[in-house]
Chains A and B, each alone.
Chain A
Amino acid sequence: MSLRRFILKRFLAIIPILFGVSVITFALVHYTPGDPVQQMVGLNPDMTAAEEQAIRRRYGLHRPAHEQYFHWIANVLQGDFGQVYSSGRDVGSIVLMRLPETIALGIFGWVFALGIAIPTGIYAAVKKDQLGDTVSRFLALSGISIPNFWLGLMLILFFALILDLWPVLPPSRQPLYSPEMLWYLILPGVTVGTASAAAIMRVMRTSMAEEMNKDYVTAARAKGLPERKVVLKHVLRNSLISVVTLAALLTAGIVSGSIVVEVVFNWPGLGREFINALTQNEIDLIMAITLVTGVAIIIANLVADIMYAVLDPRIRYD
């Protein structure tokens, strides 16, 4: 199968996956106890039954669940993601506004994770069972074990409150994609990327260590190739296959992990919006953010598959 056909096939597979995600999410949100209109009644005790019904009708919440779903999906296919009940604002525009913030944070976290994990993993593998390896394994284990909200709070405490190098709040009046923002992305980006960096580093180390014991490495060394070239040209390429797969899978972790990090760092992205939506039972907003996250994860997996094949020509598209 050609690469083009493979990509096309995978793109087509996205449709049923997203449909499944949307059905499951809708069912979960819908059947989870708690009703957005009931919550509004709780906040507005004078609301009459007629007014409650009027609000339900305005947002289509008076319909049976399955009708609500089909109505929602019909609207989504036309680009209408619904409205926020508390303010009547358009969900699509909210998601579009918040998405770049989360993407920026996710990309920074991901780049940080790879930037730390790959060289450290190589170093640990090369120095296997030596002090450097032990230290890097300890750091990796710590990185995996530390909850990212706690790490975020500690980074704020140390770098913002004690050293006064960063503000606690992101500079909301700076354009997101400005050079100045790079500085401010560091703390939340490091927090988002730390656990992934640790996981990738461990896989990198193991993979490298395995590769370095293989015959082709011995042969390369026997041919007199410099160790640096053996490691970086031959071993690294083969080791990266499992790392790429993991890195893609961890994209999901970065996206979901950023929810808590966005709250801690007051980062105005989809994660913080998702928390608000959950607490207020904003069904359309929850659905839209879930779909966007689902698409991101599927695309990340697709990219992983493609990279996998590019890195290892023995792998065939199927």
Chain B
Amino acid sequence: MVQDTEISSPRINRRRVLQSVGAAGVVGLAGCLEGDEPAEEDDTGIGEEDVDPGEIVEGGTLRVGIGANADSFDGPYSTDTTSTLVQSVVFESLTITDSEGNLYPWLAEDFEVAETQDIERTDYEPYMRTVEAVEEGALPIEEQEIIRHPEDAVPEEGDEVRTLLFEDAEDAVDDGVFGMRIRYNLREGVEFHNGEEMTAEDVIASYDRLKLSDNAAQYFDSTLYYEAIDEYTVDIYGQLPDAEGARELPPMYVYPKELAELPPNDLDPRQGNDPIGTGPYVFDEMEDEQYVEYEKNDNYWVEQMGVDSLDWFEGDDDFPDGPVIDRIEMEIIPDDATRSGALQNDEIDVTTGLTRATLDDFDASEDFEVAGVETGGYEYFQPPIRVEPWDDQRLRQAFNHLVPREQIVENVLAGWARPAWTMIPELAQGAGTTDAQALEEELRPYNEYDPEQAEELAQEVFDEYGIEAPLEVTLEVNADNDDRVQMVELVAESMEQTGLFETEIETFEWTTYVARVLDPEYAERGVIGCIGLSGTFNPHSFCDALHHSSNHGACCNLSGVSFDWLDEMLDNARYGAEVAEDPDLRRERYDEIWRELEELAASAITHFDLQTSVRHESVKGWGQFPFHEGYLNYALFAPQDEQVIYIDE
């Protein structure tokens, strides 16, 4: 996901002005923030606190300030994080994850990778049909496209394309051609809010809803087929043996069949269809652009069955069987300054996405707590690897040494981020490296600010290419993210100080910039692009998007990094029976990738963002989830991390 701001939503200049003035004016002048004690810190995040189950107070209403309207409750037809956030307390999935990315069965009582086979995309050729491409590579098909033949990936208009459609995938599965099969045994006795029991039929209907939806591509880039085996068993087939299969294959949420069969975009209270899930809260009412309200689900299956019914739960005996807060009121407050004011005025209890200056003020107050945890968001520069002299990796390494990561974090981001000494953030380290500390020690020297080293490397290249300094360079960035613009200015200044470069910065409005950098021609412009991206628990998302040739012209290999050997390394770290079955082997392969990428220096990741929230001190036990769309659901009740919040007033 291309990331513009902390909450990944584009903003215009006027609003940025409001944010800045608002933050300074409302928070600074109010004078109601007192004290200067630093936030409590532990290993997992900033300002997190343990809960003694014996002290938990039940009941109360949690008022949450959210930064955008909830566009839709229709998961398959909504792509923004706020929509997912409002859906997250109502709907649930077959599996859940803890804050470190470990998977646990949830609506599924258990799941297992039942089969893996070394299959390649070309093995599906006998099941593919040929269709003629229409405009811009699109196919005139009404069925879900699962796999396009690798040789026909980007067809011209009129070219014939071999493709595997969903209706043909069944034949492949019947013939035993699939990459992996994961079996999900559903928990019996789980009821939706309407009192109906969840069965395999609902899971299948939920997956059917994803087909041809706006989010279909996210699921059908890895899913091949799915089928109900019996009332409580579902098999989901992956196209390839995929080390991330267990995370990637299950449907986003499980809907009752009657909702899953609604027309596109209709699963929304504004269309007359209240969301009904299995989750801990029942949708109560919403007023568009104003609020969304929920009541506690008195028939929540975890409460009915007891948290001990979760086989993997090893927590405190007194840990509650469900969330303890009775009611949730989400207030939609797009402007940061207003949200900040509402928090100070006790009109909301918790919010996220405040400006960094505001965070500092709240952090210094005794009345509020700031929680922060490293997330998957990161920002990066890409030198034009296809354009001379930037095609010489020494020059790119020189550039990398001119990126002042510590200065960026301290001066531009006020410390609310972590310098990227490697390309892998904490949340992906579990699957992505054998020894994170050793990796950092080894790779940090490549990423440290070192103008002398940079000058030496650049001078070598200049001498070889006969380039007379200064070399003119244009850096590009979107104008509507002040932090990012400042970051680029800092890098430009750093480059100019060497005397080897003469820089120019060009800024663009966000949507213009997205279109610009996603254009395959962008790689030939010879400019250094800077943008943000949001990765996941999957280490793949921190190397593949920037460096796999298939992501050039898509998201987000801006400069067209394209090496067969690198593609192969990236694919082999995620796909294949060996890595799907052996996590250690996978970690080793990623370690090789991180090293190669440092040598290649095709990208310079500057820092990893923090996901932050601010709350009244009366909200106890807050644990911060690394991703915005899941932070509330996680904070309310997450037995996988023994996480629960309560209000103590």
A: residues with CB less than 8 A from B are 33-36, 38-55, 62, 84, 86-89, 94, 97-98, 149-150, 153-154, 156-157, 160-162, 164, 167-169, 172-173, 260, 263-266, 268, 272-273, 275-276, 278-281
- Pick from B32, B134, B216, B556: contact of A51, CB below 8 A: B216
Q: Tell whether, in the assembled complex, residue B264 and residue A50 are in contact, meaning their CB atoms are under 8 Å apart.
A: no
**Which chain A residues border B551 with CB–CB below 8 Å?**
45
Cα–Cα, bound, A231→B68 (Å): 52
Q: Tell whether, in the assembled complex, residue A279 and residue B1 are in contact, meaning their CB atoms are under 8 Å apart.
A: no
The 7 nearest A-B residue pairs measured at CB: A34-B511, A45-B555, A88-B265, A53-B138, A33-B512, A172-B290, A46-B217
Cα–Cα, bound, A33→B10 (Å): 14
**Which chain B residues border A49 with CB–CB below 8 Å?**
136-138, 154
Q: Tell whether, in the assembled complex, residue A35 and residue B334 are in contact, meaning their CB atoms are under 8 Å apart.
A: no
- Pick from A86, A97, A281: contact of B78, CB below 8 A: A86
**Which chain B residues border A169 with CB–CB below 8 Å?**
331, 333, 338, 342, 347-348
- Pick from B216, B334, B518: contact of A263, CB below 8 A: B334
- Pick from B215, B217, B511: contact of A39, CB below 8 A: B511
Q: Total A-B pairs in contact (CB under 8 Å)? A: 201
Residue-wise, chain B 594-628 has the 8 Å CB interface mask toward A (1 for contact) of 00000000000000000000000000000000000
Known contacts A33-B511, A279-B10; A168 and B345 CB within 8 A of each other: yes
Interface residues of B in 549-564 (CB under 8 A from A): 551, 554-556
Cα–Cα, bound, A278→B510 (Å): 11
Known: A33-B508, A38-B511, A280-B10. 4 other contacts (CB 8 A): A45-B554, A49-B138, A89-B72, A276-B69
B525 touches A (CB below 8 Å): no
**Which chain B residues border A89 with CB–CB below 8 Å?**
72, 265, 268, 270-271
Q: Tell whether, in the assembled complex, residue A50 and residue B71 are in contact, meaning their CB atoms are under 8 Å apart.
A: no
B83 closest partner in A (C-beta): A87
- Pick from B12, B77, B221, B554: contact of A279, CB below 8 A: B12
Min CB–CB distance B346 → chain A (angstroms): 9
B438 touches A (CB below 8 Å): no
**Which chain B residues border A167 with CB–CB below 8 Å?**
342, 345, 347
B344 touches A (CB below 8 Å): yes
B139 closest partner in A (C-beta): A50
B238 touches A (CB below 8 Å): no
Interface residues of B in 479-513 (CB under 8 A from A): 508-512
Known contacts A45-B545, A45-B551, A88-B265; A266 and B335 CB within 8 A of each other: yes
Q: Tell whether, in the assembled complex, residue B338 and residue A38 are in contact, meaning their CB atoms are under 8 Å apart.
A: no
Q: Tell whether, in the assembled complex, residue B25 and residue A46 are in contact, meaning their CB atoms are under 8 Å apart.
A: no
**Which chain B residues border A62 with CB–CB below 8 Å?**
135
Q: Tell whether, in the assembled complex, residue B555 and residue A264 are in contact, meaning their CB atoms are under 8 Å apart.
A: no
Main secondary structure of the interface of A (DSSP, over half): helix
Q: Tell whether, in the assembled complex, residue A42 and residue B345 are in contact, meaning their CB atoms are under 8 Å apart.
A: no
- Pick from B8, B14, B79, B338: contact of A40, CB below 8 A: B79
**Which chain B residues border A54 with CB–CB below 8 Å?**
138, 212
Q: Tell whether, in the assembled complex, residue B509 and residue A43 are in contact, meaning their CB atoms are under 8 Å apart.
A: no
Q: Tell whether, in the assembled complex, residue A263 and residue B511 are in contact, meaning their CB atoms are under 8 Å apart.
A: no
Q: Tell whether, in the assembled complex, residue A153 and residue B21 are in contact, meaning their CB atoms are under 8 Å apart.
A: yes
**Which chain B residues border A44 with CB–CB below 8 Å?**
1, 79, 214-215, 217-218
- Pick from A43, A46, A266, A268: contact of B80, CB below 8 A: A43
**Which chain B residues border A34 with CB–CB below 8 Å?**
509-512, 514-515
Cα–Cα, bound, A263→B16 (Å): 12
Cα–Cα, bound, A153→B71 (Å): 27
Min CB–CB distance A187 → chain B (angstroms): 12
- Pick from A45, A46, A86, A278: contact of B2, CB below 8 A: A45
Cα–Cα, bound, A50→B265 (Å): 19
**Which chain A residues border B509 with CB–CB below 8 Å?**
33-34
B18 touches A (CB below 8 Å): yes
**Which chain A residues border B218 with CB–CB below 8 Å?**
44, 46
Min CB–CB distance A306 → chain B (angstroms): 35
Cα–Cα, bound, A40→B217 (Å): 12
Cα–Cα, bound, A212→B338 (Å): 47
Q: Tell whether, in the assembled complex, residue A87 and residue B138 are in contact, meaning their CB atoms are under 8 Å apart.
A: no
Interface residues of B in 205-227 (CB under 8 A from A): 212, 214-218, 221
Q: Tell whether, in the assembled complex, residue B12 and residue A153 are in contact, meaning their CB atoms are under 8 Å apart.
A: no
A40 closest partner in B (C-beta): B79
B2 closest partner in A (C-beta): A42
